Amino acid sequence: MNPRYDIQSAPTKLGVLIPGMGAVATTFIAGVYAILKNQAKPVGSLTQMGTIRLGKRTEHRSPMIKDFVPLATLDGLVFGGWDIFSDNLYQAATIAGVLQQETLDSIRNELENITPMPAVFDKTFVRNLDGNHIKRGNDKWTLANQLRDDIRHFKEQHGLDQAVMIWCGSTEVYINQSEAHLTLERFETGLKENDASISPSMIYTWAALKEGVPYANGAPNLAVDIPALQELAKIEGVPIAGKDFKTGQTLMKTIIAPGLKSRMLGISGWYSTNILGNRDGEVLDDPGSFKTKEVSKLSVLDTILQPHLNPDLYGDLYHKVRIDYYPPRGDNKEGWDNIDIFGWLEYPMQIKINFLCRDSILAAPIVLDLALFLNLAQRAKMSGIQEWLSFYFKSPMVTEGLYPEHDLFIQLKKLKNTLRYMMGEELITHLGLEYYEN
Amino acid sequence: MNPRYDIQSAPTKLGVLIPGMGAVATTFIAGVYAILKNQAKPVGSLTQMGTIRLGKRTEHRSPMIKDFVPLATLDGLVFGGWDIFSDNLYQAATIAGVLQQETLDSIRNELENITPMPAVFDKTFVRNLDGNHIKRGNDKWTLANQLRDDIRHFKEQHGLDQAVMIWCGSTEVYINQSEAHLTLERFETGLKENDASISPSMIYTWAALKEGVPYANGAPNLAVDIPALQELAKIEGVPIAGKDFKTGQTLMKTIIAPGLKSRMLGISGWYSTNILGNRDGEVLDDPGSFKTKEVSKLSVLDTILQPHLNPDLYGDLYHKVRIDYYPPRGDNKEGWDNIDIFGWLEYPMQIKINFLCRDSILAAPIVLDLALFLNLAQRAKMSGIQEWLSFYFKSPMVTEGLYPEHDLFIQLKKLKNTLRYMMGEELITHLGLEYYEN
Amino acid sequence: MNPRYDIQSAPTKLGVLIPGMGAVATTFIAGVYAILKNQAKPVGSLTQMGTIRLGKRTEHRSPMIKDFVPLATLDGLVFGGWDIFSDNLYQAATIAGVLQQETLDSIRNELENITPMPAVFDKTFVRNLDGNHIKRGNDKWTLANQLRDDIRHFKEQHGLDQAVMIWCGSTEVYINQSEAHLTLERFETGLKENDASISPSMIYTWAALKEGVPYANGAPNLAVDIPALQELAKIEGVPIAGKDFKTGQTLMKTIIAPGLKSRMLGISGWYSTNILGNRDGEVLDDPGSFKTKEVSKLSVLDTILQPHLNPDLYGDLYHKVRIDYYPPRGDNKEGWDNIDIFGWLEYPMQIKINFLCRDSILAAPIVLDLALFLNLAQRAKMSGIQEWLSFYFKSPMVTEGLYPEHDLFIQLKKLKNTLRYMMGEELITHLGLEYYEN
Amino acid sequence: MNPRYDIQSAPTKLGVLIPGMGAVATTFIAGVYAILKNQAKPVGSLTQMGTIRLGKRTEHRSPMIKDFVPLATLDGLVFGGWDIFSDNLYQAATIAGVLQQETLDSIRNELENITPMPAVFDKTFVRNLDGNHIKRGNDKWTLANQLRDDIRHFKEQHGLDQAVMIWCGSTEVYINQSEAHLTLERFETGLKENDASISPSMIYTWAALKEGVPYANGAPNLAVDIPALQELAKIEGVPIAGKDFKTGQTLMKTIIAPGLKSRMLGISGWYSTNILGNRDGEVLDDPGSFKTKEVSKLSVLDTILQPHLNPDLYGDLYHKVRIDYYPPRGDNKEGWDNIDIFGWLEYPMQIKINFLCRDSILAAPIVLDLALFLNLAQRAKMSGIQEWLSFYFKSPMVTEGLYPEHDLFIQLKKLKNTLRYMMGEELITHLGLEYYEN
């Protein structure tokens, strides 16, 4: 059993750089510290808790994923990042209100030691937020290079060879691809000329890639999802992934829609509403940011259900997504879905799903997995879009000419078969006829 | 592209024999007639509505399954069966109250032409039912041979070469495997000696297999799930499948549990309650029949979640299943699930699912698919347990030494890869790295 | 036991005139015919099904309301009205899709005999509708007098002495009270000068009152809820009632909110969303019409909960109401409410309510009750606002200086004690200490 | 405004004696201490948070109830009681797991100062519990007199003139009224002869009444609901109340059922299921205790809906109540209700209610209110059954020949009008016609 890829061994230290150190980032970082103190388990993380079946069912080989592929370990992670508020992470986590105060108090020192660097911010892209911990510069080129300096400085300071960047910032307003997004050359000219279509998240991405740092985009805005930056990723040989962490309601949607489709049950309507009271809810109360999110959330069903192949079942599906800011809940999001389905002879039935979830609790282990898997990919010399990480995203990026896979179960198969392939193990097809042959 | 199996072409006529011609059977049969008159679509049927992706995503090859493998067609199906009431199928469908009267009226002639043959029945196995259309005989051996005569007569009468039998009768009381179930020899002795552990569903199975008729078991009682009858299936070279049609709440469970597990989300409790008012509900009001159903429903989570591999996530799961007879709903079942899950740092969340479903509407297309696929399997010379049909069952049967797959998505992969394999197409692994190589 | 009021006996025939003959009106009228043929019961109607307790609990006197007060009977009702479409009521009811076709077919003749008169319509007040069966005239004064002619003609044609008018038309866009609404004089000048602030529903009201016809307003727009028309009601001695039929989600709200308040349970948030797919949903997709509805729906909680008296419990309540047009459901509305409450020591709890309701089915018996009770009030010489009919409205009208009662149980008490008072029966206080005295 | 009753002024100290110092009792007592330290509000308590409207709506007189009638104050309450475990209340509250540990820690001293006295216990009445802190005695008469001694000792020790007793113990198994329950004489003979039909809760009641201590029964077992003890209450001139605190699902039922009935909406089925994981759930897992609870819960709908008066609407109602022990939730009960209703022309609709409640949080303020109101009643020289406290009970006791009122809104009216009557204020009828008279 020889690995198909020649994978460099895991680093003892790995930098994790995060633009946007709010609820998700602090929950992730505080969580890692609490886990290292054995206070809690990294539930929700495939890299830490997951197993992978190898060979036949009768072989009973199911190692932990972290024992199967060479990953950085939690005690080697070094955290840094940027935010528009200057609070240290103990303060920021307290304001976020996700974790219990006693958890935060037990790791107060570690959290107080981390203070965000000043952020690149542009209010035209996030209208409902105001911050005061912000970089100044004459143009976007200058700001971008300040970020490169930050990255280099962070690596030197902590003696790091390797790092990854995971965007955990707010959702930017909806924009279409424009000229400056099409080629790297035009993009860099745009940076220098302060092109209005270049958003802060793109500036961070550019800086990361130029520094050879893999980049994942946890929000639905374009960021790395433009040709210019994908070109840069290829040139620099850096893996990228995105976009929009798949949590909460959309996670449920990508579980249930494939299930209904597997049985050829028709769907006439899918109504989804969300109530949430955190900063994310506040940002999405702006129609521009909501539009970005809505596009990301709506696309999911079409790709799973393939109405062009199944017009009788999904051709008339009415899909509506609502997000309502509702302060009484804080970070505890709640999703309600009503699904109007039909079966044999088109008789109608209904499914209603009420999900009392916690946004940051669902997102934090995704940040961890992406950090470790992107670093693994870099050491395996994989670059550009990592489609096998689609599993983590609402709007998975794919290469030109391909449709994305939204079905969570196809995504998981893709991820696990990629790991098997990396390590020279047989791919699993679930055929299993051999068990029944004499 | 050469078929790996040498599959005999599809018959122009196929007999479908059904023990238990109540709500499910009449909904299935009436539905086929309505579909043949273009009044409605066979929604929910993979054989009629499903497509199968072949080759690479970029090839855009997704034929209908019915165009890909040679299946019997709807207009060639000939229906027959047994019931403890002598009503013709128009009367029985009217009593069942599943389909609208105007649908039934439009196919009244076809339905009135079908009258059940007298059933083999034993009240000790179904305590809450009483019927008067029942075979008489000195012992179970005699009754079994009356069924063989029925089958032969039915085939002659309609000029059929091929037939399948699908059990749609009520759930029998819970029994454990006993002596008479272990070998074919003891079983046949048991038939002659009126062994109390041989239930009506086993007698039907024996008769079917002796006549070379494939058999599927839609209820959770043992029936074909005993060594004696599996031995017979192998001897006669007949495919079998079971057990317990996967509809309603358990269908949802096998959709959602794999989804939660894929993300390594822990589960501390799963509470499921059902209300239903049809004959099925009445039968399950008897604790003996309920026990059979409960065992079938409870087993699902363990196999999907693998608590031995994931003790931190699923080791303490409290799983409770309730079925309550609730007349106001008739055939419209309603399931309520509460799922207590936990994520990052073990923080709790909840999912609640309310499924307003229609039992017979969900079961009818399963009857159709099993009839066509079992016949396909027979023509492909596959015999014994058809694990690739696990997709349709709450308690899939597997060969000794194997654990069953309950995950609906693994089951679907298994089914579709089996079809691909039969026809000499490449199996799909969802690796997809080739799209990203230069 | 002498009636306190000198009530004229009930008429043998009573005209019921309805502006807006859509889903609600046709369901009401078709229902009356079906009930008269003993096909179904007038469920939901207090006048037809309700009883009223008289005297002490130990007296066991609980007559039917219709046997207690002199009401017109169903077989004496004569229906007429106006609509922007010229379909007869059989056609209109078929399009509305509320009642089963077989019900409509059984009373087809009766329904076909009723054709709406051309409506007074102004698209600036209902932007999402277009009709072609519309009155023409140079100014609103002319149109108003055409309506008076219609009323007189209708009464003559059917030999009626008495009639009532119940507005069942669409919700008009939100407007504030303006000059022309303040006095009758200015209003009539406004009619002549085509004042833009006078809506069609006001024109109908004016015509009704001038003809001595009691008027109830089933929609949330102002209509009779302006000083000018209330002045006219007093001058003409005509009873009026309004506004906005209390059905569906708001009905539930006025049931549950008083319940929570009775126990002094705090409420921090109440989130309500509705999906509906009928013409009402289409009209409310226009923000102007939605605003009118929203104001009506939001006001309810404040008056029930009295946050000024209970600031610790209800001072910070976040109340959000959504209505989403969702075509898959047709007339079957669905409401979802999430209520965040808190109890002892402010510990949080949640209530979630899912109401699968049918809008027109809930509204139809209200139309009936209002018709009969308004006619009763007129015969009892009660004029102006009938606060005792608050029970039927989302936004009950009250005399100046009073706050409305929204609590359904106070409203019912008010209604029943008014009937007891009319008939000279003792009012019920539920004190009941006398049962325990020696 | 002269009080109709001559009410003795409130005592500065009031003893509150509680048999069964588990979750409810500790939540109540700890809560009072936390409230006295201004850490939280007595939400859910009518005596502490409630107002009462006096006179006309235009008078705007709505004093706090505690300012209107003379009640004992929180700082005068002195707590004592009995339990089958010897833990002090800090320990007991910690085990109960209802209140947050930081709340308990802030009042640790106060709680540690209270240790239950040994209980009268009989395992045949509560099969799923075992305790070791139990009184010994040759017969029930001896045990009963030990309780009288406890009460006298408690009053002396704390210098109390007045006390009340509120049963917060577990639900005893279902028993019917028997001989020994019929007269006081037979009951006292029964005590001496160890009659098997006399349960511990009856022994406590007898002891309380003999000591002149008012008694309320928070559980559904008979206790004070037998003629013998009601006779004793009259003889001793002591007020009594019961039975079964109205919390959670039944509370919602008595809110919603009157609401539906007020509108004459029919009900064909009401399915209620509960999941709970506390000691209460454990006790109710025993069929004997569950039967007692079930009877209490089922009776509610009949009395509210009066099917004999409304046979078309409620004559065929199928009512089913389930309670399932579900450990993952601890004290956080969850109720699910499905209500099948029908409206105009009998068209069906559905209401589904999901209540995420906390049992002890809802019960604690009831204990407080009953303590204060029973003491008020005693000072007003009211004795025997206090029907005006029906508001707090699932199965309100009434005098012979009367049916109980289950409608929460009638109960509240009864309670408030009783207070108004006590203080010489006008009773409120909600007639309100005077506002509209000239």
**Is the pLDDT assigned to residue B417 strictly greater than 90?**
yes
Residues A408, A251 contacting (CB under 8 angstroms):
yes
Measured CA angle at A147 (ends A145, A151), to 5 deg: 115
Question: In the predicted model, what is the mean pLDDT of residues D62-73?
Answer: 96
Provide the 3-class DSSP secondary structure of residue D361.
helix
Q: Where are the alpha helices (H) located in D11-161, listed in sequence order? A: 23-36, 46-49, 65-68, 89-96, 101-106, 108-112, 140-158
Residue C226 within a domain: yes
The predicted pLDDT at position D330 comes to 81
Q: Which helix (H) or strand (E) holds D254?
A: helix D248-262
Q: Which residues in B lie closer than 8 A to residue D334 (C-beta atoms)?
A: 338
pLDDT digits (tens, 9 = 90+) for D180-216: 999 999 999 999 999 999 999 999 999 999 999 999 9
Task: Using the 3D structure, point to which of C356, C378, C400 is the last residue of a domain.
Answer: C356
Q: Which of C73-82, D36-45, D279-288 has the lowest mean pLDDT?
A: D279-288
Give CA–CA dist A234/A240, Å, rounded.
9
User: C419: Cβ–Cβ under 8 A, 6 or more apart, which residues?
Assistant: C52, C65, C68, C69
Check CB contact under 8 Å for A318 and C326. Answer: yes
Q: Is the distance from CB of B415 to CB of B389 less than 8 angstroms?
A: yes
| Residue C23 placed within a domain | yes
Whether the per-residue pLDDT at D1 is higher than 50: the answer is: no
Q: Which of B86-95, B275-284, C274-283 has the highest mean pLDDT?
A: B86-95
| CA within 13 Å, CB half, D412 | 25
Partner-chain contact B326 D269, CB within 8 Å: yes
Say yes or no for a CB contact (<8 Å) between A357 and B349. yes
**CB neighbourhood size of A262 (10 A):** 23
Contact B326, D271 (CB under 8 A): yes
A186 is a domain residue: yes
Q: What is the mean pLDDT of residues A36-62?
A: 93
Spell out which residues of chain B touch residue A417, defining contact as CB-CB under 8 Å: 429-431
Query: Which residues of chain C lie closer than 8 angstroms to D387, CB-CB?
Result: 432, 435-436
Residues from chain B that touch A343, judged by Cβ atoms under 8 A, are: 43-44, 358, 361-362, 365
Cβ distance A328 to C269 less than 8 Å, yes or no, reads yes
User: Does any domain span residue D352?
Assistant: yes
Q: Does residue A290 have a pLDDT over 60?
A: yes
B34 band by pLDDT with thresholds 50, 70 and 90: very high
Average pLDDT over residues A82-89: 96
A319 Cα to chain C: minimum distance (Å): 9
pLDDT digits (tens, 9 = 90+) for D354-391: 999 998 999 999 999 999 999 999 999 999 999 999 99
CATH number, residue A268: 3.30.360.10
C97/A contact by beta carbon, under 8 A: no
A324 and C328: CB-CB below 8 Å? no
Which of A297-306, A424-433, C359-368 reaches the highest mean pLDDT?
Answer: C359-368
User: Are residues A241 and A252 located together in one domain of the fold?
Assistant: no
Task: Identify the weakest region by mean pLDDT among C41-50, C180-189, C420-429, D8-17.
Answer: C420-429
B6 φ/ψ angles, rounded to the nearest 5 degrees: -95, 95
DSSP bridge partners of D276: D325
Nearest-by-Cβ selection for B403 from A57, A398, A417 = A57
**Across chain D, what does the average pLDDT equal?**
92
Mean pLDDT to the nearest integer, C72-87: 97
Asked whether residue D433 is assigned to any structural domain, the reply reads no
Q: Is pLDDT of C438 > 60?
A: no
State the pLDDT confidence band at B1, using cuts at 50, 70 and 90. very low
Owner of token pair 């599809």: B10
pLDDT, mean of residues D122-132? 86
Rg (CA), chain A: 22
Q: What is the pLDDT of residue B289?
A: 79
The arithmetic mean of pLDDT across residues C294-303, rounded, is: 83
Q: Is residue A142 part of a domain?
A: yes
User: Closest approach of chain C CAs to the CA of A95, in angstroms?
Assistant: 20
Average pLDDT of the residues in B247-256: 91
Q: Are residues D333 and D303 in the same domain?
A: yes
**Residues B14, A277 contacting (CB under 8 angstroms):** no
Q: Give the chain C residue whose CA is nearest to the CA of D255.
A: C259
Q: Which domain holds residue D266?
A: 248-356
Q: Residue B277 is encoded by which pair of tokens?
A: 């008012």
Looking at the structure, tell me whether residues C324 and C387 fall in a common domain. Answer: no
Closest alpha carbon to A211 in A362, A331, A378, A357: A378
C362 touches chain D (CB under 8 A): yes
The rounded percent of chain D whose pLDDT value lies above 70 is 98
Question: What local confidence, expressed as pLDDT, does residue C329 receive?
Answer: 84
Boundary of a domain, candidates D356, D377, D400 = D356
The CA–CA distances, whole Å, from D205 to B331, C276, D202, D238 equal: 50, 55, 5, 11
Mean pLDDT over the full length of chain C: 92
Asked whether residue A412 carries a pLDDT value surpassing 50, the answer given is yes
- Mutate which: D249, D267, D268, D273, vs B, most B CBs within 10 A: D273
Q: Are C80 and C154 in contact (CB under 8 A)?
A: yes
> In the prediction, which pLDDT does D3 show?
61
Q: Using pLDDT thresholds of 50, 70 and 90, give the confidence band for residue C1.
A: very low
**3-class secondary structure per residue, chain B:** CCCCCCCCCCCCCEEEEEECCCHHHHHHHHHHHHHHCCCCCCCCCHHHHCECCECCHHHCECCEHHHHCCCCCHHHEEEEEEECCCCCHHHHHHHHCCCCHHHHHHCHHHHHCCCCEEECCCCCCCCCCCCCCECCCCCHHHHHHHHHHHHHHHHHHHCCCCEEEEECCCCCCCCCCCHHHCCHHHHHHHHHCCCCCCCHHHHHHHHHHHCCCCEEECCCCCCCCCHHHHHHHHHHCCEEEECCECCHHHHHHHHHHHHHHHCCCEEEEEEEEEEECCHHHHHHCCHHHHHHHHHHHHHHHHHHHCCCCCHHHHCCCEEEEEEEECHHHCCCCEEEEEEEEECHHHCEEEEEEEEECCHHHHHHHHHHHHHHHHHHHHHCCCCEECHHHHHHECCCCCCCCCCCCCCHHHHHHHHHHHHHHHCCCCCCCCCCHHHHCC
pLDDT at position A1: 44
| B396 and B304 part of one domain | no
**Rounded CA gap, C380 and C162, in Å?**
13
Q: How far apart are CA C78 and CA C81, in angstroms?
A: 10
Answer yes or no: do D44 and C263 touch at CB < 8 A: yes
Q: With bands split at pLDDT 50, 70 and 90, how would you rate the model's confidence at B201?
A: very high
Q: Identify whether residues B349 and B365 lie together within a single domain.
A: no
Question: Is B432 a domain residue?
Answer: no
Between A336 and A400, residue with greater pLDDT: A336
Instruction: Using the predicted structure, report yes or no on whether residue C218 has a pLDDT greater than 90.
Output: yes
Interface A:C, Cβ pairs < 8 A: 51
Q: What is the pTM of this model?
A: 0.93
Q: Please write the tens of the pLDDT for every residue from C113-154.
A: 999 999 999 988 888 888 889 999 999 999 999 999 999 999
Burial (0-12, 13-18, 19+ Cβ within 10 Å), B196 = middle
Of the residues A249, A268, A271, the best mutation for testing chain C's interface (the one with the most C CB atoms within 10 Å of its CB) is A271
Average confidence score pLDDT of chain B: 92
Question: Range with the lowest mean pLDDT among B259-263, C216-220, D202-206, D402-406?
Answer: D402-406
Res. C431: pLDDT tops 80 = no
**Residue in the block written with tokens 């994310």:** A280
Q: Does D282 touch chain B (CB under 8 A)?
A: no
Q: Does C116 lie in the same domain as C233?
A: yes
- Tell me how many domains chain B contains: 2
User: pLDDT, tens digit, for every residue of B205-219?
Assistant: 999 999 999 999 999
Based on the fold, state whether residues D415 and D343 are members of the same structural domain. no
pLDDT tens digits, A176-204: 899 999 999 999 999 999 999 999 999 99
Q: Please state the φ and ψ torsions of residue A163, each to the nearest 5 degrees.
A: -150, 165
Amino acid at C75: D
pLDDT of amino acid B2 = 52
Q: Is A4 part of a structural domain of the chain?
A: no
Identify the CATH number of the domain in which residue A123 sits: 3.40.50.720
Q: What integer pLDDT is reported at residue D26 of this predicted model?
A: 97
Q: Compute the average pLDDT of residues A72-96.
A: 96
Answer yes or no: do B39 and B128 share one domain. yes
The type of residue at B56 is: K
In the predicted model, what is the mean pLDDT of residues A134-139? 94
Are D413 and C427 an interchain contact pair (Cβ–Cβ within 8 Å)? no
Instruction: Say whether both B403 and B291 belong to one domain.
Output: no
pLDDT at B139 over 50: yes
Domain identity same for D225 and D123: yes
Q: Is residue D197 domain-shared with residue D266, that is, in the same domain?
A: no
Q: Which chains touch D (3 or more CB pairs under 8 A)?
A: B, C
**Same domain? B257 vs B349:** yes
Three-class SS string for chain C? CCCCCCCCCCCCCEEEEEECCCHHHHHHHHHHHHHHCCCCCCCCCHHHHCECCECCHHHCECCEHHHHCCCCCHHHEEEEEEECCCCCHHHHHHHHCCCCHHHHHHCHHHHHCCCCEEECCCCCCCCCCCCCCECCCCCHHHHHHHHHHHHHHHHHHHCCCCEEEEECCCCCCCCCCCHHHCCHHHHHHHHHCCCCCCCHHHHHHHHHHHCCCCEEECCCCCCCCCHHHHHHHHHHCCEEEECCECCHHHHHHHHHHHHHHHCCCEEEEEEEEEEECCHHHHHHCCHHHHHHHHHHHHHHHHHHHCCCCCHHHHCCCEEEEEEEECHHHCCCCEEEEEEEEECHHHCEEEEEEEEECCHHHHHHHHHHHHHHHHHHHHHCCCCEECHHHHHHECCCCCCCCCCCCCCHHHHHHHHHHHHHHHCCCCCCCCCCHHHHCC
pLDDT tens digit string along B338-379? Answer: 999 999 999 999 999 999 999 899 999 999 999 999 999 999
